[in-house]
């Protein structure tokens, strides 16, 4: 009897072992950042910790060069073989049917988890009322100053400008022979559009109507006023560096690192870039909220979000991984060690954040941010081409600024309505 029972137990084990093994599922994870050296140690630890806590799931990273990321994702999606967890151009991917809505998972999470993200951050992750991604990291825009140049000009770093008038006064004091207060971004990238939007938001303006069916760059008086003031720092006030129509992120950070400009409007990742260009500037910068014309003016934050592809065969496992990677521990780790600004708004009091005053300042500023990109499937084309073209034309012909942006409104409104 004992022998029969033992044989039965062994037989049961022989059957159950393969079944248990088969229950472990594999999900793939593809983002354009997995090939970045500063992030690699973190994502490897994230996967290891997740798999240790979730023994039924294996996470397989998909390493793709940034330039090939979207093309590979689209091809895989069309073949119904896309990785489960992805970070892509969210609205375009949702519009094309490449992503799975997340509302069923999101609605079941505790309120404390859902409250960690501001509604405006989630707004950029929605399309047609459905949630297609959870904001993971981004770039919060602040005003960054060179402390030595500020003090040399007789200005007080502890009392940075809050209004446009104060900013203009600082700019004039910071401009001299072979040195300018700032740089206007007018180069052919969407960073030109990002910075322009910060000035519009800081004046209480709106570039589009609420449902994004009409462009209002010139139609909204506050928007147009902001555009004229910002571009006028170069054309009228002469406090901005030369050649703005070819100035992009790279040129701006190099000018700042060289001490050619005293202030730059940029995201947190620019700090590491500037120090890389000029190690001697480390510890000689400070950040402040963007000078604005309205109380509690929002800044802008670029957004990277985790989504689940429509072809994912294991969405529950994918959601578990997304939620794990969104945890406070990994958000802080990415911020401190990879300069990835967290988009959770409940991290300001984390000890590792508070220990770095520059990082802490960006986190505080980011608590009141509007998300970027704007939620529209043709936004990338609008941001890189149409808006940048208008900025460049206005820089070259300031007297026609209003006319140029009225033409932009008409052109964009037609594009928005056509889709």
Question: Which is more confident, 15 or 375?
Answer: 375
Write down the pLDDT at residue 9: 42
What's the predicted TM-score (pTM) here?
0.87
pLDDT tens readout for residues 4-53: 433 344 344 444 444 344 589 999 999 988 998 889 999 999 999 999 99
Write down the pLDDT at residue 19: 39
Same domain, residue pair 187 and 42: no
Write down the pLDDT at residue 38: 85
Residue 193's nearest CA partner among 378, 343, 390 is 390
Write down the pLDDT at residue 340: 85
Q: Which helix (H) or strand (E) holds 156?
A: none
Cβ-based neighbour number of residue 29 at 10 Å: 22
Same domain, residue pair 402 and 278: yes
CATH of the domain at 202: 3.40.190.10
Same domain, residue pair 119 and 145: no
Same domain, residue pair 276 and 243: yes
Same domain, residue pair 102 and 131: yes
Is residue 366 situated within a structural domain? no
Same domain, residue pair 92 and 173: no
The DSSP secondary-structure symbol of 25 reads E
Q: In the chain, how many domains are there?
A: 2
Q: Return the sign of the alpha-carbon dihedral for residues 193, 194, 198, 204.
A: positive
The Cα–Cα gap between 193 and 185 comes to 9
Same domain, residue pair 74 and 214: no
pLDDT tens readout for residues 64-114: 998 899 999 999 999 999 999 999 999 999 999 999 999 999 999 999 999
Same domain, residue pair 162 and 129: no
Q: Is 3 exposed, middle or buried (CB count within 10 Å of its CB: 0-12, 13-18, 19+)?
A: exposed
pLDDT tens readout for residues 291-350: 999 999 999 999 999 999 999 999 999 999 999 999 999 999 999 988 888 899 999 999
Is residue 133 situated within a structural domain? yes
Is residue 11 situated within a structural domain? no
Q: Which pLDDT band, with edges at 50, 70 and 90, does 419 fall under?
A: confident
Is residue 16 situated within a structural domain? no
Same domain, residue pair 151 and 216: yes
Is residue 367 situated within a structural domain? no
Q: What mean pLDDT, rounded, does the chain reach?
A: 93
190-218: b (≥16 Cβ within 10 Å) or e = bbbbbbbbbbbbbbbbbbbeeeeeebbbb
Q: Chain centroid to CA 374: how far?
A: 11
Q: How far is CA 17 from CA 9, 10, 71, 314, in A?
A: 12, 11, 40, 21
Contact present, 135 and 200 (Cβ < 8 Å):
no
| Residue owning tokens 């050619």 | 260
One DSSP character per residue, 96-149 reads TT-EE--HHHHTTS-HHHHTTS-HHHHHTTEETTEE--EEEEEEEEEEEEEHHH
The Cα–Cα gap between 301 and 248 comes to 18
Q: How far is CA 29 from CA 92, 120, 233, in A?
A: 19, 26, 44
Estimate the crossing angle of helix 221-235 against helix 191-202, to 10 degrees. Answer: 120
DSSP E strands, 277-368: 285-288, 299-309, 341-342
| Residue owning tokens 């949630």 | 131
Contact present, 216 and 209 (Cβ < 8 Å):
yes
Write down the pLDDT at residue 143: 98
Is residue 10 situated within a structural domain? no
Mean per-residue pLDDT for 232-256?
97
Is residue 17 situated within a structural domain? no
Same domain, residue pair 195 and 132: no
Same domain, residue pair 169 and 191: yes
One DSSP character per residue, 42-99 reads HHHHHHHHHHHH-TTEEEEE----GGGHHHHHHHHHHTT---SEE---HHHHHHTT-E
Q: Of the ranges 18-27, 29-38, 133-142, 268-277, which one carries the lowest mean pLDDT score?
A: 18-27
Same domain, residue pair 119 and 157: no
Q: Which pLDDT band, with edges at 50, 70 and 90, does 264 fall under?
A: very high
**Full residue range of the structural domain in which residue 168 is found:** 140-300+375-418
């Amino acid at each position: 009897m004992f022998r029969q029972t033992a044989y039965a137990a062994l037989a049961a084990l022989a059957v159950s072992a393969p079944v248990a093994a088969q229950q472990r599922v594999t999900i793939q994870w593809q983002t354009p950042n997995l090939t970045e050296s500063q992030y690699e140690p973190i994502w490897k630890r994230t996967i290891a910790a997740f798999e240790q806590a979730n023994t039924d799931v294996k996470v397989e990273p998909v390493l793709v060069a940034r330039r090939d990321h979207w093309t590979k994702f689209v091809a895989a999606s069309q073949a119904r073989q896309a990785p489960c967890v992805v970070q892509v151009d969210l609205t375009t991917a949702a519009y094309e049917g490449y992503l799975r809505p997340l509302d069923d998972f999101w609605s079941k999470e505790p309120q404390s988890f859902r409250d960690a993200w501001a509604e405006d951050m989630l707004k950029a992750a929605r399309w047609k009322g459905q949630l297609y991604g959870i904001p993971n990291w981004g770039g919060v825009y602040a005003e960054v100053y060179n402390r030595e140049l500020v003090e040399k000009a007789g200005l007080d770093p502890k009392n940075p400008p809050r209004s446009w008038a104060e900013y203009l006064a600082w700019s004039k004091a910071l401009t001299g022979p072979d040195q300018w207060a700032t740089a206007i971004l007018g180069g052919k990238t969407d960073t030109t559009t990002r910075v322009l939007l910060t000035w519009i938001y800081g004046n209480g303006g709106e570039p589009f109507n609420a449902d994004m069916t009409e462009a209002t760059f010139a139609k909204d008086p506050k928007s147009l006023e902001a555009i004229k003031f910002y571009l006028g720092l170069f054309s009228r006030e002469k406090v901005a560096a030369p050649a703005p129509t070819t100035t992009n992120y790279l040129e701006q950070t190099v000018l700042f690192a060289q001490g050619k400009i005293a202030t730059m409007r940029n995201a947190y990742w620019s700090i590491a870039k500037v120090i890389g260009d000029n190690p001697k500037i480390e510890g000689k910068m400070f950040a402040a909220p963007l000078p604005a014309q309205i109380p509690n003016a929002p800044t802008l934050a670029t957004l990277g979000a985790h989504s689940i592809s429509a072809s994912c065969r294991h969405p529950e496992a994918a959601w578990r991984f997304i939620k794990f990677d969104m945890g406070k521990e990994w958000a802080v780790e990415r911020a401190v060690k990879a300069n990835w600004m967290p988009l959770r708004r409940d991290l300001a009091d984390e000890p590792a954040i508070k220990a770095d005053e520059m990082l802490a300042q960006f986190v505080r500023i980011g608590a009141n941010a509007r998300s970027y990109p704007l939620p529209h499937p043709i936004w990338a084309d609008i941001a890189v081409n149409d808006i940048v073209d208008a900025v460049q034309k206005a820089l070259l012909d300031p007297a026609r600024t209003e006319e140029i942006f009225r033409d932009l409104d008409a052109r964009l409104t037609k594009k928005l309505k056509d889709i």
